[in-house]
Amino acid sequence: GESVGLHLPTLSVQEGDNSIINCAYSNSASDYFIWYKQESGKGPQFIIDIRSNMDKRQGQRVTVLLNKTVKHLSLQIAATQPGDSAVYFCAENQAGTALIFGKGTTLSVSS
Q: Applying CB under 8 A, which residues contact other proteins?
A: 31-32, 34, 36, 42-46, 49, 51, 89, 91, 93, 95-104
Beta carbon of residue 43, minimum distance to other proteins (angstroms, whole number): 4
* CB nearer other proteins, residue 17 or residue 106: 106
45 contact partners, CB below 8 Å, separation of at least 6: 36, 37, 38, 39
What is d(CA 86, CA 97) in angstroms, rounded to the nearest whole number? Answer: 27
32 contact partners, CB below 8 Å, separation of at least 6: 49, 50, 51, 52, 92, 93, 94, 95
Beta carbon of residue 7, minimum distance to other proteins (angstroms, whole number): 14
Alpha-helix residue ranges (DSSP H) falling in 1-111: none
* CB nearer other proteins, residue 43 or residue 83: 43
* CB nearer other proteins, residue 34 or residue 109: 34
Beta carbon of residue 49, minimum distance to other proteins (angstroms, whole number): 5
* CB nearer other proteins, residue 9 or residue 16: 9
Beta carbon of residue 89, minimum distance to other proteins (angstroms, whole number): 7
Which is nearest to 110 in space by CA: 7, 16, 10? 16
